[in-house]
Amino acid sequence: MENNTLTSLAGVLVGQTEDLKSLTGCTVVAFERPINVACVSLGGAATTYNTESLKLDKNYYQKHAIFMTDGAMSGLEASYWIAKGLREKNVGWKMGKTINPSMTGVCIMGFENSRFDPELGYRAVISLSKNTVESGNVGVGIGAGVGKFSWTDSGKCLGMKGGIGSAKIDLGKGAVVCALTVVNALGNVVDKNGEIMAGNRNDNKDGGFKFRTFEGLSKWAIENQNTTISVVGTNIKLPLLQQDLTKVAQIATHGQIRAIKPVNTSLDGDTVFAFSTQEIDIEGINFGDEWWKLSADIVGQAAADAVQESIYDACKSAKTVKWGKGYQGIIPAIGDY
């Protein structure tokens, strides 16, 4: 079966681990050599690690790994364990006898973030591989949900299950754009027709569930922050590397905007990372006349499509989980709804 995930790119590995009892997990994207990474964060509540170094007025763009972890603020503690695992794999800048991995990342606030064990970061690094990246209730996706702005008066979540998902857009001549997204959104996930695919439920006593609109925001929602994180990777050469990667990340956010409503709220930490392995020249994109000026736009539009499709993959691949704070004791996946 064709690999349509980030690991289809040369030198890119992904590791995931999760605790099924605590509904928390971690996902790490690592590179066999340090490569430039860009980041754009539009959510109002992003919990990020070392993203300041990725701004265009800085010069420390090359990274060995990107991580996505549960735990909200405490999820940042996983950075120690991720660095430890990378050092054991001899990944990082060599400074005398010290190995310093250059990393960046973002944390989500999942269902049980207070139970997050930062050592999951180490286990995710140990599991790094070139295998096709699994979707659904794996890695950081285990504790992810969607439509979490609606709760019952007694404090039961009416959201549905999110997860982690992948997609790849083939531009021909060996050029591809891939996306890996964990979907943990305050808003609902909507399909290409604008219909709700997964989101909040109505606690109708007769069991006839109907989706609510954002006007049904519950007082409980402010106690639970949310974050959708996308990692976009391509093998297309970008001439103005860091500037172009930032543009790609900016356009890629449109994939989140198309698929989630509402998105980028003050209670979301929505973020996109972008990188390129800089391997493929495409006629009409990277050379010839003035087309090179549009290379970031072309890659960015493909990235937006990949992000959108990866969000749908995450929700379609998710499985129902039991959770005490969920309405009727569960957070249902769309396949079981």
Tokens 């049980």 map to which residue?
Answer: 112
In whole angstroms, how far apart are CA 57 and each of 144, 243, 246, 252?
A: 33, 10, 12, 21
State pTM to two decimals. 0.94
Q: What element of type H or E holds 88? A: helix 78-88
Q: How far apart are CA 278 and CA 293, in angstroms?
A: 16
In a 3-state reduction of DSSP, which class is residue 153? coil
For the chain, the structural domain boundaries read 6-336
What's the CATH architecture for 6-336? Answer: 4-Layer Sandwich (3.60)
DSSP calls for 29-56: EEEEEEEEEEEEE-STT-EEES-GGGST
Give pLDDT, residue 206. Answer: 47
Tokens 């549905």 map to which residue?
Answer: 160
Specify whether the CB–CB gap between 126 and 91 falls below 8 A.
no
Give pLDDT, residue 207. Answer: 47
In terms of Cα–Cα distance, which of 230, 252, 246 is closest to 305? 252
pLDDT tens for the chain, 337 residues: list them.
889 999 999 999 999 999 999 999 999 999 999 999 999 999 988 999 999 999 999 989 999 999 999 998 999 999 999 999 999 999 999 988 899 999 999 999 998 877 899 999 999 999 999 999 999 999 999 999 998 887 877 888 888 999 999 999 999 889 999 999 999 998 899 999 988 899 887 655 444 445 555 655 556 555 666 899 999 999 999 988 899 999 999 999 999 999 999 899 888 899 999 999 999 987 655 555 666 668 899 999 999 999 999 999 999 999 999 999 998 899 999 988 6
Q: How far apart are CA 19 and CA 42, in angstroms?
A: 29
